[in-house]
C-alpha cells in the first residue's frame, strides 16, 4: 500500500510541466557579521536578556564555578543533572557539588531510561549543560545532542544553566549549523536552538514563562 501511494503521488506531481525556478535575490550581508568579539557578546546579552535570560561572564574556570555557587545558593539548588560534554567535564562539577552540598548526577548514573527520566523530570532542580554554539543574532544556544548531551537535561528541569566557551560565540545560525550539516562527519540526530525559557501566551495573550520546559535560562560565557 505504502509503495503504491508513493508512486501515485510522485507520478501525479511529475505529470505536469515543470515550472521555472525563480531567480533568488541576493541579500546584503547580515549586520552581525561585522561585529567584533565584544560586539557579539553585547548583542548576545541584549537579545537573551530581552527573553528574560541572564548572561554571566567568567574569565576562567574558577570564575564560572563561582557563578554556579552563587546561583546554587540563591536558587536553593539541591540536586542538579548535568551533561558530560567537554566544557562541563572541565568544570569537574561532582567535586564542586561536594564542596557546595549539591548532588550532581548525569544520565549515565541511572540504571535505565525510566530511572533517568524519573530523575530528570521529578528530582533535578536544574539542568547544567554545555552548548556547541552561542549565536549573537538572537541570543540563541545551539546544541547537537548525543550521549554526552542528553535532550531532557536542558528541557525538563525548571532551571537551565548553560556554560559556553566564548570562542563558540558566532554571529549567525548558519555558522553554527553548517558545522553539523556542512562538512561530512557524524551528523547529529537531534539539534536544538534554544532562545530563552519555555513560554506561551495562549491564554488571553498573557505571557507565561515555564510552560513545559525551564522557567529561566542562565548562560555563563566562559573565557
Partner 1 sequence: MKVNTRNFVQTAEREMQNQYARAFLALMPPVIAALRVQVMGSFPDPEAAQELGRAIRAEAVARMPDLLEEFERNAVAAGARVLWARDASEANELVLSIARERNVTEVTKGKSMISEETGLNEAFKNNGIEPFETDLGEFIAQQLERPPFHIVGPAINVPVEEICDLFMKKAGMEKATTDPVELGYAARLFLRDKFRRVRMGITGVNVAVAETGAIVNVENEGNIRFNKSSPLTQVSLMSIEKVVPTMNDALHLVRLLCRNCTGQGISAYVSIDRGPKMKEEFDGPEELFIIIVDNGRSRIYEDVKMRQVLRCIRCGACLNLCPIYSKIGGYPYGWAYSGPMGQVLNPALLGVDDTSDLFNACTLCGTCREICPAGVDHPELFLYYRELEAEGKKMSSGRWEARFFKLWGTAAAHTGLWRFFYRLVRPVVARYGKEGKIKAMPGPFEGWFKTRDLPVPARRTFRDRWRKSMSEKNLSRGGME
- Regarding 194 and contact with partner 1 (CB under 8 A), the answer is yes
| Residue 148 beta carbon to partner 1: minimum distance, rounded to whole angstroms | 9
Q: What is the Cα–Cα distance from 218 to 104, expressed in whole angstroms?
A: 18
Which residue blocks in 57-119 are alpha helix, DSSP H? 61-75, 86-90, 93-100, 113-118
User: For partner 1, which residue of 69, 90, 100, 192 counts as binding (CB under 8 A)?
Assistant: 192
| Residue 94 beta carbon to partner 1: minimum distance, rounded to whole angstroms | 18
Collapsed DSSP state (helix, strand, coil) of residue 65 = helix
- Regarding 76 and contact with partner 1 (CB under 8 A), the answer is no
Q: What is the Cα–Cα distance from 94 to 184, expressed in whole angstroms?
A: 35
Q: What are the strands, taking DSSP E only, across 78-165?
A: 79-82, 103-106, 126-130, 133-135, 140-144, 159-165
Q: Which of these segments, 58-66, 95-103, 161-169, 178-186, binds partner 1 (CB under 8 A)? A: 178-186
Q: Which residues pair with 162 in a beta bridge?
A: 129, 219
> 85 with 145: CB under 8 angstroms?
no
- Regarding 67 and contact with partner 1 (CB under 8 A), the answer is no
User: For partner 1, which residue of 31, 37, 73, 78 counts as binding (CB under 8 A)?
Assistant: 31
Of 103, 97, 54, the closest CA to residue 78 belongs to 103
Q: Which of these segments, 7-15, 72-80, 85-93, 162-170, binds partner 1 (CB under 8 A)? A: 7-15
Q: Which is nearer to partner 1, 73 or 190 (CB)?
A: 190
| Site residues (CB under 8 A) for partner 1, limited to 78-137 | 107-108, 113, 116-118, 121, 137
| Residue 82 beta carbon to partner 1: minimum distance, rounded to whole angstroms | 13
| Residue 218 beta carbon to partner 1: minimum distance, rounded to whole angstroms | 15
Q: 169-170 and 133-135 as β-strands: parallel, antiparallel, unpaired?
A: parallel
Would you state the cell numbers that stand for residue 128, as one nine-digit string? 547544567
User: For partner 1, which residue of 155, 163, 220, 221 counts as binding (CB under 8 A)?
Assistant: 155
Q: Which is nearer to partner 1, 59 or 187 (CB)?
A: 187
Would you state the cell numbers that stand for residue 32, as one nine-digit string? 552581525
- Regarding 14 and contact with partner 1 (CB under 8 A), the answer is yes
| Residue 140 beta carbon to partner 1: minimum distance, rounded to whole angstroms | 6
| Residue 61 beta carbon to partner 1: minimum distance, rounded to whole angstroms | 26
Rounded (10°) CA dihedral 134, 140, 144, 147? 90
Q: Which is nearer to partner 1, 85 or 137 (CB)?
A: 137
Q: What is the Cα–Cα distance from 109 to 133, expressed in whole angstroms?
A: 26
Amino acid at each position: 500500500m505504502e509503495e503504491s501511494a508513493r508512486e501515485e503521488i510522485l507520478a501525479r506531481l511529475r505529470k505536469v510541466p515543470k515550472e521555472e525556478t525563480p531567480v533568488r535575490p541576493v541579500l546584503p550581508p547580515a549586520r552581525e557579521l561585522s561585529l567584533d568579539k565584544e560586539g557579539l557578546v553585547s548583542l548576545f546579552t541584549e537579545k537573551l536578556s530581552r527573553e528574560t535570560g541572564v548572561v554571566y561572564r567568567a574569565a576562567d574556570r574558577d570564575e564560572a564555578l563561582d557563578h554556579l555557587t552563587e546561583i546554587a545558593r540563591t536558587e536553593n539548588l539541591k540536586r542538579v543533572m548535568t551533561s558530560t560534554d567537554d566544557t562541563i567535564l572541565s568544570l569537574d562539577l561532582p567535586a564542586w557539588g561536594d564542596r557546595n552540598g549539591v548532588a550532581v548526577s548525569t544520565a549515565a548514573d541511572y540504571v535505565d531510561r525510566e530511572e533517568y527520566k524519573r530523575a530528570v523530570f521529578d528530582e533535578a532542580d536544574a539542568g547544567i549543560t554545555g552548548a556547541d554554539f552561542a549565536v549573537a543574532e538572537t541570543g540563541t544556544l545551539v546544541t547537537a545532542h548525543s550521549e554526552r548531551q542528553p535532550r531532557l537535561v536542558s528541557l525538563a528541569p525548571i532551571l537551565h544553566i548553560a556554560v559556553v566557551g566564548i570562542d563558540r560565540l558566532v554571529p549567525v545560525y548558519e555558522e553554527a549549523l553548517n558545522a553539523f550539516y556542512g562538512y561530512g562527519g557524524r551528523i547529529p540526530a537531534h539539534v536544538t536552538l534554544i532562545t530563552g525559557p519555555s513560554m506561551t501566551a495562549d491564554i488571553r495573550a498573557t505571557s507565561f514563562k515555564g510552560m513545559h520546559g525551564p522557567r529561566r535560562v542562565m548562560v555563563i560565557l566562559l573565557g
